[in-house]
Structure 1
Amino acid sequence: MKKKMSLPMQILIALVAGIAVGLVCYFGGFADITTNYLKPFGDIFVNLLKFIVVPVVLLSMIDGIISMNDMRKVGSVGVKTVVYFLCTTAIACVIGLVFANIFNGAGLFPVLDAASAEYEAKEFGGFMSTLVAIFPTNMWKSFTDANMLQVIVISLFLGGSILAAGERAKLCRDFVSSAYAVIEQLMSFIISLAPIGVFTYMAWVVATQGSEVLVSLLLVIVCAYLGYIVHAVVVYSLSAKIFVGMSPVKFFKGAFAAMIFAFTSTSSAATLPVSKECAAELGAEDDIASFVLPLGSTINMDGTAIYQCV
């Protein structure tokens, strides 16, 4: 029986094919074809991912909390997760600043004309106002706005309440498990379309932006990507080895599909369904992954931290 090609390999082939098609369209002068006829399919795929993100986060976190069956375990995992995220983000900031200062000190960054640039920053209301804002006043509005921090808070309260209710909440437990099983099937179907999304988006990006953007900001991009590579190789390799005893090669091979899709979609939230699939294949406990991954897609922005510092 012929073995089916793995999703990461399909995505990689789609990525290379998209770049090739994009270059042909860029140099051939018909980039409009990718904008009018390819990008819409990528948009449809990303829309499907965004559509499923809220139910995935809501149901996976509630199901994860219920599966742990102990709020003390939930609290323990939550504290460890947040502490780990804070540490990796701090390391990412340091890496970004180190590389940025090296490049800037060597005079490698382009000097931009900021005379006509205007930007008025919004006033920061302080930590307490930010804290208040993550607690929703309207559950449905949190869902429709896809406010992921509020969705996470809702999940924590609902999951904790189901645990506290005990046997009286058996119907809710069964409903969450059943609904999550349905969402998982839907998620698998949408993820199977990832190569199409990657191909169409890469072809559009390369065809419309070509080499101009890359050339003008090449050294800035190089600086940022050096930071990404160092952070991924050092921090994530050590994390996999120290905390799980897993070979870094095995970890990156297992996470490849999520990494490639995050690269092409530039969205942590949209990548969440793919990340869940990768976590399952790597052997992560489902209840822990269901709880940790939604948190990570919302508050653990290491790549963004490096990018902002650069």
Structure 2
Amino acid sequence: MSEQNSVWKSYRFPIILIIAIAIGCVLGSVMGKDALVLKPLGDIFVNAMFMVVVPLVFTTICSAVASMSSMERLGKVMKYLVLVFAVTGAIAAVLMLIAVTVFPPASGATIQLQLPEEIKAFSTADQVVKAFTTDDFVGLLSRRAMLPLILFTIFFGFCLQSLGERGRALGRGIAVAADAMLQMVRYLMYYAPIGLAAYFAALVGDYGPQLLGAYFRSMVVYHVVTFAYFIIAFTIYSWWGTDGRGVRTFWGRIIPPAIMALGSGSSTATLPLNLEAANGMGIPRDISEIVLPIGATAHMEGSCLSGILKISFLFGIFGLPFSGFGTMATAVAVAVLSGVVLSGIPGGGLVGEMLIVSLYGFPPEAFPIIATIGFLVDPAATMVNATGDTCSALMISRLVEGKDWFAKAIAEKSEEAA
């Protein structure tokens, strides 16, 4: 009985969330479009999570940077962050590339469109500028400016540390504010079962009928590859990141954030739970509080997977050959690029979809075609995106702290518990 109580205590929250999502799916299937009446209940929960995101990102990153033992350590963390994010994104893109080559997602599609004679080039220069900067400080106070906020916060934290003791004093105050924001999130999570049930009911009721024909084939290909990647790749990554000792710990902690990401469709909204899970895994806070907020915006393995799917789908319906080293190498590069510019919010994939259409010179009619795919794959993609952030933090911890870091972290937690 005690063992059963222990299992229930450990997995009570994810079990409740799974039951709530299942109820939402059933309601959506039965009610159809009428299930949209429940959407406000889901929106309340997601909006509440968004409400705390900006102050949470600022306080966690700022306190982490300000409390770094040295700028050398910060530089080391950022160096490995870029490396891990790029490599894992490329691996995900290549795996999907293999899948769509064997199982073309647009095979048998009846959509007939013609490429126009003159294609107006879509300039991404302004998009890049807007992705990394804002023209006013007020613009930083929006979840739509996550990258500018992150860059500002890192710079601000660096400036605090450069002030010495005066800066560290303010940094300690900001750390308290970060803890307060995390506590607010814990209270908001009491509403999660109701919010996620309503959100899934509306999602299934609205988009369920669109899973037909070529779209259905695309969904099968995507979800098989994505869930296989979710289980296999993250098991391998967590094994390597913890020197083979933390796979069980990783999966024991990551389920609640993964379900939250699946239900909300937002890496950003999942960030609070990811931070809590990372702490439970023993990941150093100065690493998790930098890697996870940045990863919520700039590390999208699930979006790299969907990027290849969308490119292959467009090539198929336009009757263009999706073959050759140059074509495939470009597709991987574009998928990784689109995964980086995506914002961690529901529907944020529209930016990446616009990038895909413009870089390949497809006509405007191509945009809603892949946007539909984007909406349908968003939950699973976000689940991989958010989980990949925490898994990357494990690997970065090994690169920064050494391969024995996990054993030391577990030993420290055992001493604290004793």
Instruction: Give TM-score, length-normalised by structure 1.
Output: 0.87
Aligned to 1:240: 238
Deviation at 1:189, TM superposition (A): 1.4
Matches of residues 284-295 of structure 1 in structure 2 within 5 Å?
284-295=283-294
Aligned equivalents of 2:232 and 2:267: distance in 1? Answer: 21
Partner of 1:259: 258
Q: Residue type of the partner of 1:205?
A: L
Name which of structure 1's ranges 79-88 and 186-195 shifts more when overlaid on structure 2.
Answer: 186-195
AA partner of residue 69 (structure 1): S
Distance 1:132 1:10, change over 3 A: closer
Query: Hey, what's the Cα distance between the residues in 2 that align with 1:120 and 1:253?
Result: 50
Q: After the TM superposition, which parts of structure 1 deviate over 4 Å for at least 4 consecutive aligned residues?
A: 1-5, 116-121
Q: Is the contact made by 2:56 and 2:178 (CA closer than 8 Å) also made in structure 1?
A: yes
Of 245-254 and 9-18, deviating more is 245-254
Unaligned runs of 5+ in 1: none
Are residues 1:54 and 2:54 paired? Answer: yes
Residue 194 of structure 1 corresponds to which residue in structure 2? Answer: 192
2:20 to 3, 14, 19: 14
Identify which of 121, 144, 147 aligns with 2:145. Answer: 147
What SS class does the counterpart of residue 212 from structure 2 fall into?
helix
Question: How much identity, in percent, do the aligned residues show?
Answer: 27
1:16-47 per-position Cα deviation (integer Å, ceiling 9, x unaligned): 11112222223xxxx42x222x2101001111
Q: Which AA in structure 2 matches 1:213? A: Q
Alignment partner, residue 276 of structure 2: 277
Q: 1:110 to 1:179 in 2, by over 3 A?
A: farther
Residues 1:303 and 2:302 are matched in the alignment: yes
Instruction: Read off the aligned partner of 1:14 and give its amino acid letter.
Output: A
SS at match of 2:123: coil
Relative contact order higher in (CA < 8 Å, ≥ 6 apart): 1
In structure 1, what residue type is equivalent to 2:24? G
**How many residue pairs end up in the alignment?**
299
Equivalences for 1:197-212 in 2 at 5 Å? Answer: 197-210=195-208, 212=209
Q: Which SS does the other structure have where 2:111 is aligned? A: coil
Q: Residue type of the partner of 1:201?
A: Y
Paired residue type of 2:107:
F
Partner secondary structure for residue 113 of structure 1: coil
> Deviation at 1:266?
1.7
Q: In 1, are the aligned partners of 2:196 and 2:263 still within 8 Å (CA)? A: yes
Alignment map for 1:119-130 (pairs within 5 Å): 122-125=122-125, 130=128
Report the aligned-residue RMSD. 2.6
Query: How big is the shift at 1:186?
Result: 0.8
- Alignment CA distance shift 1:257-1:94 (3 Å): same
- Name 1:138's counterpart in structure 2: 136
94, 109, 112: which is aligned to 1:111? Answer: 109
SS at match of 2:125: coil
* Aligned-pair CA distance for 1:168: 2.0
Residues in 1 aligned to 2:25 and 2:131: alpha-carbon distance in whole angstroms? 41
Partner Cα distance (1:247, 1:285) in 2 = 14
Contact 2:64/2:286 (8 A) holds in 1 = yes
- 1:191 Cα deviation (Å)? 2.7
Determine the C-alpha separation between the residues in 2 that align with 1:302 and 1:278. Answer: 19
Deviations 1:153-199 (A, max 9, x none): 01111111111101122442232022112111112112332222211
Distance 1:240 1:114, change over 3 A: same
Whole-Å Cα distance in 2 between the matches of residues 94 and 121 of structure 1? 27
1:53-97 C-alpha deviation (Å, 9 max, x unpaired): 111111111111123231111110111011000000011110111
Which AA in structure 2 matches 1:35?
Answer: L
AA matched with 1:73: R
Please give the secondary structure, in 2, of the residue aligned with 1:257. helix
Match of 1:35 in 2: 36
**Where in structure 2 are there 5+ consecutive unaligned residues?**
310-418
Classify the secondary structure of the residue corresponding to 1:60: helix
2:266, 2:220 → 1: CA distance? 20
SS in 2 for 1:122: coil
2:222 corresponds to which residue? 224
Question: In 2 relative to 1, CA 120–102 (structure 1 residues): closer, same or farther, beyond 3 Å?
Answer: farther
- Per-residue deviation, residues 226-261 of structure 1 (Å, max 9, x unmatched): 221232233321111112134434423321112122
Indicate if the aligned counterparts of 1:56 and 1:183 stay in contact, CA closer than 8 A: yes
**Separation in 2, partners of 1:120, 1:186:** 48
Deviation at 1:213, TM superposition (A): 1.9
